[in-house]
Amino acid sequence: MTVRLTILIALLMVLGAVVVNACKKSGGENTNQPDAISFTVPPGFPPPQYTFAGNPLTQQGFDLGKKLFYDGRLSKDGNFPCASCHQQFAAFATYDHTLSHGFNNQFTLRNAPGIFNMAWQQQFHWDGGIVNLEVQPLAPITAPNEMAEDIGNVINKLKQDGAYKQMFKAAFGDETINSQRMLLALTQFVASMVSANSKYDKVKRGESSFKPDEENGYAIFKAKCAACHAEPLFTDNSFRNTGLPVDPTINDFGRMRITHKKEDSLKFKVPSLRNVYLTFPYGHDGRFLSISQVLEHYNSGVQNSATVDPLVKNRIPLSNVEVYYLQQFLRTLTDSTLLKDPRFAPPGQ
């Protein structure tokens, strides 16, 4: 009796699935429109800067963006897709590299930042030299020490591939493959990377609570760090000089490279501290190998100069126990949901 009942239920379920699929199929054939997906602003987050205006987020656009992000053909020798420097398990930073390396084993000037919550930024790269997320990929694709490729060549390579023709059509309505569409699709993928499910977020949503050490660290953080690493994004998106001595082999003066103003000398973008335990090494040139080295810099290494930030000018005194508590708090910013999210995972994983 029970066996028959189970079979009956199973049969009904299969039948149900067939009916649902049939409906989906006929819907798809009638419209041919890409499927819109919504971008959810996590609770407590401000309104995003990037709103997908003029670039509606769709499943097909996202899928195309993902294929492009993982495709070595965007680079000259095929070896340097975006994902070679932006690895999911490292919150889309480069794991364990001070400066990332690209074409011909050349080093980049800077340490690759983690990529997440980009939709809340308006100025990209450590010096804010890029002000539009949609054109950002042009920089790494064409940089001789990154992907070292010419956009025209990239587009020609994509045109050789029938799978791309189908995907551009599914995303944008016809088979035209051009750089504008490529950039829009990459942006759909990159802007969708949101980090908002760390323990910190769960505590904020009332779903978890801090241990006493984490709570102590949070209090110290709010008092000594949050003015620049502002919640909930853990950056206020400003450019600051935290008193790092210039590395004479690189001579990177940060924001001044872009504005050519003396008052911007040695200023770098305040990085988000979300997932900071995964994005080592630290600092714009990856000079710090651990969080404790960064904290020791604030405690004793701040070098005075005309543009050093008033908040760190007189250093940020931190006792050993405060360092310990701060580290416990910073660990709560790791978001394993982002690191394991199959939507962003390398194809085939």
CA distance 171 to 58: 7
Nearer CB in complex with ligand HEC: 57/190:
190
Nearer CB in complex with ligand HEC: 5/116:
116
Question: Angle at Cα 71 formed by Cα 339 and Cα 164, nearest 5°?
Answer: 120
Nearer CB in complex with ligand HEC: 30/105:
105
Smallest gap from Cβ 320 to ligand HEC, in A, equals: 14
Smallest gap from Cβ 279 to ligand HEC, in A, equals: 5
CA proximity to 85, closest of 135, 157, 145? 145
Rounded to the nearest 10°, the torsion over CA 102, 104, 109, 112 is: 10
Smallest gap from Cβ 349 to ligand HEC, in A, equals: 19
Smallest gap from Cβ 180 to ligand HEC, in A, equals: 14
Smallest gap from Cβ 76 to ligand HEC, in A, equals: 11
Nearer CB in complex with ligand HEC: 168/268:
268
Please state, as a whole number, how many other Cβ atoms lie within 10 Å of the Cβ of residue 144.
12
Nearer CB in complex with ligand HEC: 96/207:
96
Amino acid at 272: S
Site residues (CB under 6 A) for ligand HEC? Answer: 74, 80, 82, 84-86, 100, 102, 108, 110, 112-113, 115, 118, 124-126, 136-137, 140-141, 146-147, 186, 190, 224-225, 227-229, 240, 242, 244, 268, 270-271, 273, 276, 279, 282-284, 291, 294-295, 298, 309, 311-312, 316, 326
CA distance 141 to 163: 21
Residues 274 and 117 sit within 8 Å (Cβ to Cβ): yes
Smallest gap from Cβ 178 to ligand HEC, in A, equals: 16
Nearer CB in complex with ligand HEC: 155/311:
311
